[in-house]
Structure 1
Amino acid sequence: MAAVRRIGNIARWISDTLDRAAAVVAVTALAMLVSAVMLQVVARYAFAQPPSWTEELARYAMIWAGLIGATLSFKRRFDPALFHGASGSSWRAVAAGLIQSLVVLVFLLPILWHSFFGPGGNLARGFLTRHSRTTADALDFSTLWVAIAVPISIVVILIHLVARWAEPATPPPPDGSEDIV
């Protein structure tokens, strides 16, 4: 039992560490997004010559902010709840946790698979491989740097899911109110 508890503590520590890093990345991407849009607005309306790269930078920053922000939301349990009022170690809470885990896995694992493998398990036709051969239009870099946000966010969410599984069961609050699960 002590080994299981230790593994749970390690999973929660990794999840918490990744969450802090994800918060920095998401805030940075959001700041880049706002800065690029503001520069484009000022350049367009004040100088009538917006730089061509600002729209593309804003789009890529939005992708990173949205995907990494989703990991923050999942960690804080802002994801949609299937069952309201199921808490503690009741059979309803266990069933809700299993269903939520299954939904997350069914949704994310195929996306993670196709990030690396294309049709027929062909590595050369995978999402990331195709992006590694594509260059951004206005910015001179591979769109792989944008596309990599997809598997990164999925892996972080899966780690958060493992940390959820490792959380100790908590009894319902003594005042009779129940948390949303």
Structure 2
Amino acid sequence: MLRVIDSLSEWSGRLAAWLFFVIGIFIVYEVVARYVFLSPTVWSEELSRFLQIWATYLAAAAVLKNRQLIVIDVITRNSSEKIRIGCETLALLVIVVFCLVAVWYGLGIAVESIRIGRASSSMLAVPSWLSEAAIPVGFALLLVQALAELARTVSGTTRPAPPRH
């Protein structure tokens, strides 16, 4: 099961990376269209923002899986293994609780947007739920990965963090 969760997180991380790549293409296209051809687009900025929202939330689980979150290790740097495991468990529990809250409220906001037909105020009028859904989806992925990391930590099979540069 942990391998399935890790694979899902890796897949979402790769998708996020490709979305960031596409955003770069959109921005380059917009710059050329605006400043070379004097013909700006109506879609580039909004779609770039939309994809950035999705890419950011999709990447969170992969970042946790690869242990690349920002870490303040003042307490654990020179501590015993028991204290390190305790701090890591506590941090993962905080992530789990935060994810549960974010999924719950994020889902409520997206459902409300669907119910009332809320859309962006741009010329594209993109339905708001399309970007709002990134929150419950991304935090659900992060929640599952955090639970997997918690299981590893409690069982003593934690993967080592990658070396810091």
Q: TM over 0.5: same fold? A: yes
Alpha carbons of 1:72 and 1:54: their partners in 2 closer, same or farther (altered >3 Å)? same
Which residue of structure 2 lines up, in the alignment, with residue 135 of structure 1? 119
Q: Does 1:161 align with 2:155?
A: no
Is the 1:134–1:142 contact (alpha carbons within 8 Å) kept by the matching residues of 2? yes
Q: Is the CA contact 2:16–2:58 (under 8 Å) kept in the aligned structure 1? A: yes
User: Secondary structure of 1:80's match?
Assistant: coil
* Residue of 77, 101, 123 corresponding to 1:85: 77
Percent of residue pairs bearing the same amino acid type: 24
Counterpart Cα distance in 1 of 2:44 and 2:61? 26
What is the letter of the counterpart of residue 156 of structure 2? A
Q: Residue in 2 aligned with 1:60?
A: 50
1:86·1:92 contact (CA, 8 Å) conserved in 2? no
Normalised TM-score (structure 1): 0.73
User: Does the CA-based 8 Å contact 2:27-2:48 persist in structure 1?
Assistant: yes
Contact 1:87 1:170 in 2 (8 A): no
CA deviation after TM superposition for structure 1 residue 170, in Å: 5.2
Per-residue CA distance 1:27-48 (angstroms, 9 max, x = gap): 2311221111111100110111
> How do residues 1-181 of structure 1 correspond to structure 2 at under 5 angstroms?
10=1, 12-83=2-73, 84-85=76-77, 90-116=81-107, 126-132=108-114, 133-136=117-120, 137-139=122-124, 141-167=126-152, 168-169=155-156
Q: Quote how far apart the aligned CAs of 1:82 are.
A: 4.6
Change (3 A) 1:138 1:72: farther
Deviation at 1:73, TM superposition (A): 1.2
For these two proteins, the number of residue pairs brought into alignment is: 154
Paired residues of 1:86 and 1:96 also in contact (CA < 8 A): no
- For 1:153, what is the secondary structure of its paired residue? helix
| Unmatched tracts of structure 2, length 5 or more | none
Task: Measure, in 1, the Cα distance between the counterparts of 2:46 and 2:106.
Answer: 22
